[in-house]
Amino acid sequence: MLLKFATLSILLFCLWSCGQKPLEPDDDRLQKKMIDEQLKGRDITDEKVLSSMAKVKRHLFVPAESRAWAHEDRPLPIGYGQTISQPYIVAYMTQAAQLKEGDKVLEVGTGSGYQAAILAEIVKEVYTIEILPELAQTAKARLKQLSYSNIQVIVGDGYKGWPQAAPYDAIIVTAAPTQIPQELIRQLKEGGRMIIPIGSFEQELLRITKTKDGFKEERLLSVHFVPMIKDLK
């Protein structure tokens, strides 16, 4: 009798636990670990960048099936042959742009919208251009859902920048052209910084600072970004 009761209890418990929600991956713990090991553990020291990377929930920007890998030290596919950049690279580029609170920033290559959100936590205004309408639409809806009112998502060709809102304090380019797009330099303020990967297979991340009579170029890091697409039209 006792044995029957015990078996029944175990059976009922199993049925009950099957009906419970499956355990969500521990995103908060993984995000903290990502910041400690991949960012602080390397050379990310800007407090504004670190707190933005802590505030924006990266798992909300990756496809549902990749959620378990959202905080890994690598880029992840977001569809249409594109990727969300590795967390360290997002933090590194943001830090290299030397941003201030009142800045207006242009991003080229919206992708998932993650880099735009990281910027929007730090600066006043963010304009982000995406050439693939489907990605732009998804990112726009996601950023709206997350209540970002200081980000404008634009469908267009990043080679042309967005002259309507220029000049910018900083421009961050997250796809690689083979040469520096001169139109983007034109849209920088004097003293403005552009962080951009240049090259085809071998790429170099550059910081270009606009000066009174031209621009200054600094080589920062070897990188690997998706190629910047030439205008589809």
Binding stretches for ligand SAH (CB under 6 A):
82-85, 108-109, 111-112, 114-115, 129-132, 135, 157-159, 174-175, 226, 228-229
Considering beta carbons, is residue 135 or 143 the nearer one to ligand SAH? 135
Q: What is the C-alpha to C-alpha distance for residues 46 and 200, in angstroms, rounded to an integer?
A: 30
Question: 10 Å Cβ neighbour count for 217?
Answer: 13
- Distance in Å, CB of 231 to ligand SAH, minimum: 7
Active site residue 66: no
CB 228 within 8 A of CB 177: yes
Considering beta carbons, is residue 13 or 109 the nearer one to ligand SAH? 109
Cβ-Cβ contacts under 8 Å for 143 (sequence gap 6 or more): 113, 116, 117, 151, 153
- Distance in Å, CB of 84 to ligand SAH, minimum: 4
Q: What is the C-alpha to C-alpha distance for residues 166 and 130, in angstroms, rounded to an integer?
A: 17
- Distance in Å, CB of 52 to ligand SAH, minimum: 13
Considering beta carbons, is residue 76 or 208 the nearer one to ligand SAH? 76
Considering beta carbons, is residue 17 or 187 the nearer one to ligand SAH? 187
Half-sphere exposure of 158 (CA within 13 A, CB side): 28
In Å, how far from its chain's centre is CA 137?
A: 16
Q: Which of 51, 85, 147, 200 is catalytic?
A: 85
Catalytic residues, by residue number, are 85
